[in-house]
Amino acid sequence: MAELHDDALMVKIRGLCFAHGARTIFDGVDIDIPRGKITAIMGPSGTGKTTLLKIIGGQLAPLAGSVLVEGEDIHHVSRDNLYRLRKRMSLLFQTGALFTDLTVFENVAFPLREHTRLPESMLRDLVLMKLQVVGLRGARDLMPTELSGGMARRVALARAIALDPAMIMYDEPFTGQDPITVGVIMQLIRMLNDALGLTSIIVSHDVHELSQISDYMYMMAAGKIVGHGTPQELGHSGSEWIRQFMGGLPDGPVPFHYPATDYAQDLLAGVSAR
Amino acid sequence: MIDWFQKLGSSSLALFERLGRGGLFLMRVFSAIPSLVSRPRLVIIQLYSVGVLSMMLIVISGLNVGMVLGLQGYNTLVDFGAEESLGQVVALSLVRELGPVVAALLFAGRAGSALTAEIGLMKATEQLSGMEMMAVDPMKRVIAPRFIAAVISMPLLATMFSAMGILGGYFVGVGLLGVDSGAFWSQMQGKVDFYEDIMNGLVKSIVFGFVAAWIAVFEGYDAAPTTEGVSRATTRTVVHTAFAVLGLDFILTALMFGSV
């Protein structure tokens, strides 16, 4: 991506380093998230994609590097400012993270009740409008346990847009969904992004779906960005790693086997111990 | 041998680290409490699930314990011809000791474990995390109301336990065993001191309620976000509350009633 002016960036990550205990997750990662676009961050399981979203949301602090959200370093702002920034962003959890003791309606109403003092009738209209967008106005009285996985994610999406955020982060939105639901969620992400002028970040490993709806893609492996570009550019990339990932090949630069001692020696060790 | 020392060292360190985390957590709960003044509804909802729903257990247990006390007390006292003192024996045992202690143990089993499991599961299913991302502080919205509700409920439940126990003792002593009703009540009235006995018992139940509430919400918040983590945290709540209550009971009793 050509270097964008800071005003055109919703999120700007520079030199990000992070570790879970002794395991390095990020080692000098630079990412730009442009405003108004859908940016995908891809990588195999365990590359810390969810961690990245939590770092952008200020829930986890990096060991080094900076994360600027709307020009403010989210890890060095006061608690009040952090909460002010969080009202401008939403994170759609993989599980939906709906409140299981509240109905669908109350789940969507939750952020409105917490942050606004709207009269009940206006609140009702707003909630129904958000539910209408995701097609679940009729499910308003159901409890989260009565919803399918796809419906739960759509309710979570309605809740995520309740406060009209500037940015939505999607954590693995397609995982474990049937093809129809995947289609519905893809359409919703694109539609919400364009209609509401949002900025969207999707972390996922569903190459096919992401290629269709993303404007720009980043590929992560072993704590680093190994490639980025538009879906077309990545599709024709010369990098072996990107080819393996995009093509879904079982072996390549990312090995099939978890690191282990030599196979034959391992088996023989069992024989000599007998 | 060195291994043994290493294990002792690491488990002591872990214990103190946990105590420190618990202390810091309590400070955060305290700082979240003032926000509840403008939202009393959050506390009232929790008062219902923590306090009101525990009432049945407390009432029935209190009644039973009082009935047993009446029976045992009578059998002992009658040998000395002192069965008129039954009212005093039952009331003192209950308001000084059994009320606060047994109510706290029952409270830990009924409400404490439920609080831990609820908060732990909210953490495991990312509901607390989701709340934070919606710029809602879980300390203010989830933890503080539950903590305050438990602190308020415990002394009330302990008082109820004692009252029901006295009633149970009365039914058995006066109703079944023929102790004189007037003697039962007048002995109680004469020998149970409001400050010395009732207030001290109340102070105990307040302290136990505070400790039980702290342990329950902390264990839930600190639980590993897995099925096993929540189950272990729930068990820890009951076990640690029992130890804390029984340990503190001795200390408080020594301070209040004894010259140890």
Tens-digit pLDDT profile for residues B97-129: 999 999 999 999 999 999 999 999 999 998 999
Q: Do A93 and B130 touch (CB under 8 A)?
A: yes
CB B32 within 8 A of CB B137: yes
Q: What are the chain A neighbours of B132 within 8 Å (beta carbons)? A: 59, 86
- How high is the pLDDT of residue B101? 96
Cβ atoms B146, B112 nearer than 8 A: no
Distance between CA atoms of B136 and A42, rounded to whole angstroms? 29
Distance CA A51, CA A57 (A): 10
Helix locations, chain B, DSSP H: 2-32, 40-46, 55-77, 86-92, 99-107, 113-124, 127-133, 138, 144-170, 181-191, 200-222, 227-256
Total number of domains in chain B: 1
Residue B9 lies in a domain: no
d(CA B238, CA B243): 9
Whether B91 is covered by a domain: the verdict is yes
Q: Rounded to 5 degrees, what are φ and ψ at B79?
A: -65, -30
Q: Which amino acid does the sequence have at A50?
A: T
- What CA–CA distance (Å, rounded) separates B195 from B175? 30
A65's enclosing H/E stretch is strand A64-69
Q: Which of B140-149, B193-202, B206-215 has the lowest mean pLDDT?
A: B193-202
Phi, psi (deg, nearest 5) at residue A214: -85, 150
Question: What residues does A171 pair with on adjacent strands?
Answer: A203
State the residue range of the domain holding B115: 41-254
Alpha helices in B49-143 (DSSP H): 55-77, 86-92, 99-107, 113-124, 127-133, 138
Kind of pairing between the strands at A224-229 and A199-204: unpaired
Mark yes or no for CB contact B133/A91 under 8 Å.
Answer: yes
Facing residue for A57 by CB, picked from B125, B133, B136: B133
Q: Using the beta-carbon criterion (under 8 Å), do A100 and B125 form an inter-chain contact?
A: yes
The answer to whether residues A71 and A6 touch, using CB atoms and an 8 Å cutoff, is yes
| Averaged pLDDT, A125-140 | 91
Kindly determine whether residue B129 and residue A100, on different chains, have CB atoms separated by under 8 Å: no
Residue given tokens 């570009």 in the structure block = A229
A160's enclosing H/E stretch is helix A149-160
- Inter-chain residue contact B133 with A89, CB threshold 8 Å: yes
* B188 pLDDT more than 60: yes
Chains A & B: contacts with CB separation below 8 Å: 46
Q: Do the domain assignments include residue B185?
A: yes
Geometric angle at alpha carbon A63, from A97 and B141, rounded to 5°: 30
The whole-angstrom separation of Cα B74 and Cα B84 is: 9
CB proximity under 8 Å: A 173-192 to B:
none
Q: Which of A97, A89, A96, A110 is nearest to A168 (CA)?
A: A89
Report chain B's mean pLDDT, rounded to a whole number.
93
Task: Note whether residue B16 is domain-resident.
Answer: no
- pLDDT of A223: 83
Confirm or reject contact between B38 and chain A (CB < 8 A): no
Cβ contact B132–A59 (<8 Å): yes
pLDDT band at A134 (very low <50, low <70, confident <90, very high): confident
pTM: 0.85
For residue B2, being part of any structural domain is answered with no
Residues of B in contact with A110 (CB under 8 A): 134, 136
Judged against a pLDDT cut of 90, whether residue A206 lies above it is answered with: no
Minimal C-alpha gap between B200 and chain A (Å): 39
> A157 to chain B, minimum CA–CA distance in Å?
12
Query: Is residue B260 over pLDDT 60?
Result: no
Q: How far apart are CA B57 and CA B62, in angstroms?
A: 8
Mean pLDDT score of chain A, rounded to an integer? 87
B141 touches chain A (CB under 8 A): yes
Look-up: residue for tokens 């000791």?
A: B97
Does residue A4 carry a pLDDT above 70? no
User: In angstroms, rounded to a whole number, what is the distance separating the alpha carbons of residues A16 and A35?
Assistant: 20
CB-side neighbour CA atoms (13 Å) of B15? 7
Q: What angle do CA A267, A271, A273 make, to 5 degrees?
A: 115
The per-residue pLDDT for A2 is 54
10 Å CB burial of residue A60 (0-12, 13-18, 19+) is: middle
- A32 has which bridge partners? A12
Report the alpha-carbon distance of residue A261 to residue A254 in Å, rounded: 17
Please report which confidence band the pLDDT of residue A234 belongs to, taking 50, 70 and 90 as the band edges.
confident
Residue B156: pLDDT band by 50, 70, 90 thresholds? very high
Residues 17-76 of A with CB under 8 A from B: 54, 57, 59
Residue B259 lies in a domain: no
pLDDT grade, residue B162 (50/70/90)?
A: very high
Between positions 75 and 114 of A, the ones with CB within 8 A of B are 83-84, 86-87, 89-91, 93, 95, 97-100, 110-111, 114
For residue B238, is pLDDT > 90? yes
**If you average pLDDT over residues A116-144, what whole number do you get?**
92
Whether B144 and B29 have beta carbons less than 8 Å apart is answered as yes
Average pLDDT over residues A59-73: 90
Confidence label for B196 from pLDDT (cuts 50, 70 and 90): confident
Considering the domain boundaries, does residue B235 fall inside one?
Answer: yes
B129 touches chain A (CB under 8 A): yes
Instruction: Yes or no: say if A26 and A18 are a contact pair by the CB < 8 Å rule.
Output: yes
Whether the pLDDT of residue A117 is over 80: the answer is yes
Residues 6+ apart with CB under 8 A from B28: B139
| Domain-located, residue B18 | no
CA distance B112 to B115: 5
Contacts of B130 in chain A (CB under 8 A): 91, 93, 97
H or E element at residue A168: strand A167-171
Nearest Cβ partner for A95 among B126, B132, B136: B126
| Closest of B119, B101, B110, B221 to residue B161, by C-alpha | B101
Dihedral-angle region of residue A201 (phi above 0 means left; psi in -120 to 50 means alpha; beta otherwise): beta
Looking at the complex, report in whole angstroms how far the Cα of residue A168 sits from the nearest Cα belonging to chain B: 11
Q: How confident is the model at residue B259 (pLDDT cuts 50, 70, 90)?
A: low
Of A90, A100, A115, the CB nearest to B133: A90
Q: Which residue of A has its CA nearest to B126?
A: A97
3-state secondary structure A4-15: CCHHHEEEEEEE
Residues 6 or more apart whose Cβ sits within 8 Å of residue A9: A32, A33, A34, A35, A68
Q: How far is B129 from chain A (nearest CA, A)?
A: 8
Give me the residue label for tokens 């990412």.
Answer: A31
Residue of B nearest to A86 (CA): B135
